[in-house]
């Protein structure tokens, strides 16, 4: 895969979870007026707010003002924005509603807002494959950089809870993804994590995303999948070693075997940081795992037993079906 240099990274997330019996946590909303005009904010949905705020913050870090493209990953599609639209549709018995509500319910709106505000007429796209949304968005960005490496592209992962909808649905319906599973303990979270990426390093480069692994664990794939396959995809012919693992292992009983398999394939001496306590559980949580890896590699956040790590493996799952990993290194 084309190396993806991360030259800026910003995140909106919740406070770390101290009580895992809490059903859901919402982000600490930043002061959006730092970057977005007050009048524009009023009509803007939360996904777009997350997207724009983190985009501007990432651009500040990267010390650039214009971009060549934007690719967003949004994990959960039945969420606050569709909820608003559906409730009004039922309440008004399909009478005329506010068009902004419909526009905000479209998943492509957030990336569209970024292109509009940053006056970018380059590439734009939005992926929404639950637990692969940020992974596909990053791969998409890598494809653009492979074609022209000097581009600067915004790529991010977004999810919102709102009205406790996730938690309520999760509690009522038991499962979040297509694999049948027992009810599991989750603290549903939300957040936005956005990266300014380029195919070329700059003075602001904080880390480099080397490779992405995804496996959709259908019943057959679950039997056939191996951690060696993950290592081959991520490391190619090189020796599969890392000096830190940032792990999205959930608190409940789901997907535990996947994590066990992967960790067994790496040396037991490698320190492991579990990050779901810092994010909660949602489809694009891997974007926050990646953010933590970037900050660890650039030495600004996350202290581990090693001084400053050079190679980090980020692992994430979403439900039983979605499993993904990133290899992130120093420049």
Partner 1 sequence: MNYGLMEPIYITGMGMNCSLGWTPEEIHTSLIADAKGGISNIEILNTRHRGTFPVGEIKRETEDLRAEITNQGGYQLNRTSILATKAVEQAIEQARHAHRAGGRLGLISGTTVGGMDVTEDGYINHVEGRLHNINFFQLGGAAFCAEYLAERLGGVQYLSTISTACSSSLNAIGNAVQLLQAGQLDIAIAGGADALCRFTINGFNSFRLLDQNRCRPFDATRSGINLGEGAAYFVLETETSLRRTGNKPIAMITGYGNHNDRFHPSSISPDGVGIQMAMRSALEQSKTPLDKVDYILTHGTATPNNDASEGAAIHNLFSEVAVPDYVSLKSSFGHTLAASGAINTGVGITSILNGTKYPNYNWTEAMPELSSGPLATTLEKQSVNNVIINATGMGGYCSSMVLSKT
Is there a contact between 167 and 161 (Cβ–Cβ < 8 Å)? yes
The one among 11, 46, 53, 130 contacting partner 1 by CB under 8 A:
130
Three-state DSSP class for 287? helix
The pairing of beta strand 272-274 with beta strand 244-247: parallel
Which is closer to partner 1, CB of 127 or CB of 186?
A: 127
**How far apart are CB 96 and partner 1 at their closest, in Å?**
6
DSSP letter, residue 200:
S
**How far apart are CB 223 and partner 1 at their closest, in Å?**
12
**DSSP secondary structure string, 67-136?**
-SEEEEEE--SSSHHHHHHHHHHHHTTT----HHHHHHHSTTHHHHHHHHHTT--SEEEEE--GGGHHHH
The one among 20, 41, 112, 201 contacting partner 1 by CB under 8 A:
112
Q: Is 24 in the site for partner 1 (CB under 8 A)?
A: no
Q: Cα–Cα distance between 262 and 312 in angstroms, integer?
A: 14
The stretch among 52-60, 109-117, 296-304, 305-313 that binds partner 1 (CB under 8 A) is 109-117
How many chain residues are in contact with partner 1, going by CB under 8 A? 71
Which is closer to partner 1, CB of 121 or CB of 307?
A: 121
Site residues for partner 1, window 82-101 (CB under 8 A)? 82, 85-87, 89-90, 93-94, 96-99, 101
**How far apart are CB 306 and partner 1 at their closest, in Å?**
32
Query: 146-162 burial string, b = 16+ CB within 10 Å, else e?
Result: eeeeebbbbbbbbbbbb
Which is closer to partner 1, CB of 123 or CB of 326?
A: 123
Site residues for partner 1, window 309-328 (CB under 8 A)? 321
Site residues for partner 1, window 172-211 (CB under 8 A)? 172-178, 180
Q: Is 330 in the site for partner 1 (CB under 8 A)?
A: no
Q: Cα–Cα distance between 234 and 166 in angstroms, integer?
A: 32
**How far apart are CB 88 and partner 1 at their closest, in Å?**
9
Q: Is 113 in the site for partner 1 (CB under 8 A)?
A: yes
Q: Is 147 in the site for partner 1 (CB under 8 A)?
A: yes
Q: At what angle do helices 133-147 and 285-297 cross, to 10 degrees?
A: 60
The stretch among 9-17, 136-144, 184-192, 200-208 that binds partner 1 (CB under 8 A) is 136-144
Could you give the dihedral angle defined by the CA atoms of residues 128, 129, 132 and 138, in that order, rounded to the nearest 10 degrees?
A: -30
């Amino acid at each position: 895969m084309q190396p993806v240099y991360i030259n800026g990274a910003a995140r909106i997330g919740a406070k770390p979870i101290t009580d895992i019996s809490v059903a859901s946590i919402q982000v600490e909303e930043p002061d959006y007026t730092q970057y977005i005009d007050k009048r524009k904010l009023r009509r803007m949905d939360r996904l777009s707010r997350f997207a724009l705020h983190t985009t501007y913050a990432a651009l500040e870090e990267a010390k650039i003002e214009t971009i060549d493209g934007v690719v967003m990953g949004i994990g959960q599609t039945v969420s606050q924005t569709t909820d608003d639209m559906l409730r009004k549709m039922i309440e008004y018995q399909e009478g005329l509603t506010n068009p902004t509500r419909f526009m905000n319910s479209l998943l492509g709106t957030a990336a569209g807002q970024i292109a509009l505000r940053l006056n970018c007429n380059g590439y734009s796209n939005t992926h929404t494959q639950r637990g692969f949304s940020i992974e596909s968005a990053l791969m998409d960005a890598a494809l653009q950089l492979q074609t022209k490496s000097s581009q600067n592209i915004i790529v991010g992962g977004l999810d919102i809870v709102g009205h406790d909808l996730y938690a309520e649905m999760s509690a009522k319906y038991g499962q979040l993804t297509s694999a049948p599973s027992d009810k599991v303990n989750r603290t549903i979270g939300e957040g936005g994590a956005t990266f300014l990426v380029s195919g070329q390093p700059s003075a602001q480069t904080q880390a480099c995303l080397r490779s992405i692994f995804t496996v959709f664990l259908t019943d057959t794939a679950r039997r056939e999948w191996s951690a060696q396959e993950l290592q081959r995809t991520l490391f190619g012919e090189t020796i599969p070693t890392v000096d830190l693992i940032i792990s999205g292992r959930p608190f409940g009983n789901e997907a535990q075997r996947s994590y066990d398999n992967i960790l067994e394939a790496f040396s037991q001496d490698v320190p492991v940081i579990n990050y779901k306590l810092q994010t909660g559980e949602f489809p694009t949580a891997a974007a926050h795992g990646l953010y933590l890896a970037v900050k660890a590699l650039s030495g600004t956040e996350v202290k581990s037993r090693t001084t400053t790590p050079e190679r980090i493996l980020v692992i994430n799952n979403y439900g039983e079906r979605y499993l993904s990993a990133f290899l992130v290194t120093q420049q």
